[in-house]
Chain A
Amino acid sequence: MNERAVVAQGAIPADSEIDGAPAIAVRGYWQSVLRRLRYDWVTIIFGLVVLAIVLAAIAAPLIAPFDPYQQSIVGRLKPFGWRGHPWGTDELGRDMMSRLIYGGRISLVMGLAPVLIATLVGGMLGVIGGFAGRVANTAIMRTMDVFYAFPSILLAVAISGAMGGGMINGIISLSLVFTPAMCRVAETATAQVKNLDYIEAARASGAGTLTIIRHHVLGNVLGPVFIYASSLVSVSILLASGLSFLGLGVQPPEPDWGLMLSTLRQSLYVNPLGCALPGIAIFITSICFNLVSDGVRGAMDVRG
């Protein structure tokens, strides 16, 4: 990959001695992806929303109007705009807006960390399984198939239930849920790439197995893996919220969206709009991630 960058910058002036030959527009790969994205306003708008959510989560202490843990006996389940609480308060009188902003941190970590771990572990196993011989492939893929036998939510619930609640355990259980799927995607992509002529051409050029995997397999498998991973982020956010809702994920008093949804459920008749807020946050975040991942997928298709 580093070669690409160097070559793109052009160690030698590229067209110093060129005659009147028709100009060929030459750009780097990511440059052309960005160029295609520029005309895709859906992706741009939802990408900005994702960016806003991420920035809000990072800058939570700066922008949150109140302390998200500060309770108040008198100010419970107050409506929007009550005494400077823009989105009202929850069942313990804590500021809803602050809790939602802080909750974004947890939701994003729970959305990204399991996917990242699963991509690394599953992707590696998949490439090995796809490229190595039949024995390694069978060993890896049949093991993954065992995980496949369980519905993903059930598996996440079972693992979290067995290990107990908490954020770390939640991340571990979700990683375990996503790894087999990731592995399958990487294995399929590798198996496809492995039989293409350019792998044989690379071997015919004297490249060793490691070089071939590093340059030609990874380069071509990364695309599908990245696309699948980006579509998993929203699933991961949903599943994490689900775990918290069931009391198996983040523990109170942490401001997690799923957990908030679960505790506010009992107050649905008192302050329906306030109770729906965490659900809306989950919905917006996951749909934005989904749409952005769709747009990037379209732009990343080299032959598009």
Chain B
Amino acid sequence: MDGHTEAAAPLLDVRDLTVKFVSREATVTAVNGATFSLRAGEVLCLLGESGSGKSVTLRALMRLLPKQAQVAGRVELGGQDVLALQGKALGAFRGGEVAMVFQEPMTALDPVYTIGQHLVEMIRRHKGGTKVEARARAIELLDLVKIPSAARRFDAYPHELSGGLRQRAMIAIALSCGPRLLLADEPTTALDATVQIQVLILLRRLQQELGMGTIFVTHDLGVAAEIADRVAVMYAGRVIEEGPVADVLRAPAHPYTAGLLASTVHDQAPDQDIAAIPGSPPDLRRLPGGCSFAPRCGLATEACRQAFPDPVYPAPGRMARCLRVAGVLPGLLREPV
């Protein structure tokens, strides 16, 4: 897993992305200086619990946030400044270069249009062409995502399809204009377990065949292990650990990642309690001064509460923002957190 060199220019480069929601009552810092990058053809998993800023990060990448959100930092896709896009360029960028698969396939498809109309609208918007051509392309796409009898499902309404098929249709819509970057916001969370695996395998295969960079948001470590090349763990709006998926899941460098791993169900004895991380995520309106995980961290020292730790690189291709990495890495899983 060490084949990643820093030489190749990244497809996507996100620096110090900060998203604040300002209202009269409070300022919520949903994303607080997230930094990561993605190479072409790579799958990056954004991992974190609810409220860690994963979905907001994704929407910021696509400029989907409402006007009252204040977005700062730098987002570059293939050298293009995403945050500066306006008007027509923004319309071509969304869907053309970056596409998104949503969590809930029932509500993300317009109930009054057929699957085919969704696809045709999208294809003609970005690629032009006649309706006949768009239709042919749409049926090709439905075949590509392994929807059986594609030509008939073309005329089906979203409510006439099962959850798995709907999600496949949504993937077809996302892929229809050959995006360079695919954003997936928990695309398998709403599906049941067997379908989940099928959709994951499909996404993985399509991603490899089409060479798309993919950012995959999930809170499920199992899903991350299944699909990702690299993972970025988010906590309170920051990326606190990043690295190749196998290494991070095997030997987490950040106490939070270690805690997440310890709190998932794997081979524990049936009567044994699952180790939960004590406390709850910080209030995003009043972030603590130092490391935002310090109040819940068993290893925190005085220095942790002074300032947010700078990134350290414990191994090639790995990053963690923690002062205690040196002490954490070996055998942390057995240590009571």
* Chain A residues close to B by CB (< 8 Å): 3-4, 6-8, 10-12, 14-19, 21-24, 26, 29, 133, 196-198, 200-208, 211, 215-216, 219-220, 223, 302-303
Q: Please give the number of chain B residues whose Cβ is less than 8 angstroms from any Cβ of chain A in the complex.
A: 47
Name the contact of A205 in the complex, choosing from B117, B120, B122 (C-beta under 8 A).
Answer: B122
**CB-defined contacts of B120 to chain A, threshold 8 Å:** 3, 7
A21 to B112, CA, bound (A): 25
B285 within 8 A of A: no
**CB-defined contacts of B90 to chain A, threshold 8 Å:** 206
Contact (A196, B152) CB under 8 Å given A11-B131, A201-B102, A206-B92: no
| CB 8 Å contact bits of B115-126 with A (1 = contact, 0 = none) | 011001110011
Contact (A21, B131) CB under 8 Å given A198-B110, A202-B110: no
| CB 8 Å contact bits of B96-131 with A (1 = contact, 0 = none) | 100110111001111111101100111001100001
Instruction: Please list 12 pairs of residues, one from A and one from B, whose beta carbons are closer than 8 Å in the complex, sorted by A's number.
Output: A4-B117, A12-B151, A15-B152, A22-B149, A197-B107, A197-B108, A198-B107, A198-B108, A204-B100, A206-B94, A206-B125, A303-B159
Contact (A15, B151) CB under 8 Å given A3-B117, A201-B108, A303-B159: yes
A19 to B92, CA, bound (A): 37
Q: Which residue of A lies closest to B153 (CB)?
A: A24
A198 to B117, CA, bound (A): 13
B270 within 8 A of A: no
Q: Which residue of B lies closest to A17 (CB)?
A: B151
Q: Which residue of B lies closest to A21 (CB)?
A: B149
B136 within 8 A of A: yes
B45 within 8 A of A: no
* Residues in B155-185 with C-beta less than 8 Å from chain A: 155-157, 159-160, 170, 173
**CB-defined contacts of B336 to chain A, threshold 8 Å:** none
**CB-defined contacts of B153 to chain A, threshold 8 Å:** 24
B321 within 8 A of A: no
**Shortest distance between the CB of B178 and any CB in chain A (Å):** 13
Contact check, B131 vs A3: say whether CB atoms are below 8 A apart. yes
B93 within 8 A of A: yes
**Shortest distance between the CB of A300 and any CB in chain B (Å):** 11
**Shortest distance between the CB of A34 and any CB in chain B (Å):** 16
Name the contact of A219 in the complex, choosing from B96, B102, B113, B155 (C-beta under 8 A).
Answer: B113
Contact check, B117 vs A204: say whether CB atoms are below 8 A apart. no
Q: Which residue of A lies closest to B94 (CB)?
A: A206
Contact check, A208 vs B152: say whether CB atoms are below 8 A apart. no
**Shortest distance between the CB of B65 and any CB in chain A (Å):** 10
**CB-defined contacts of B91 to chain A, threshold 8 Å:** 206-208
Q: Which residue of B lies closest to A212 (CB)?
A: B110
Contact check, B94 vs A26: say whether CB atoms are below 8 A apart. no
B265 within 8 A of A: no
**Shortest distance between the CB of B280 and any CB in chain A (Å):** 27
Contact check, B99 vs A14: say whether CB atoms are below 8 A apart. no
Contact check, B136 vs A12: say whether CB atoms are below 8 A apart. yes
B154 within 8 A of A: yes
Contact check, B111 vs A302: say whether CB atoms are below 8 A apart. yes
**CB-defined contacts of B131 to chain A, threshold 8 Å:** 3, 6-7, 11
The 8 closest A-B CB pairs, nearest first, are A206-B95, A21-B149, A205-B95, A197-B108, A206-B94, A26-B155, A197-B107, A219-B112
Contact check, A4 vs B113: say whether CB atoms are below 8 A apart. yes
Q: Which residue of B lies closest to A216 (CB)?
A: B110
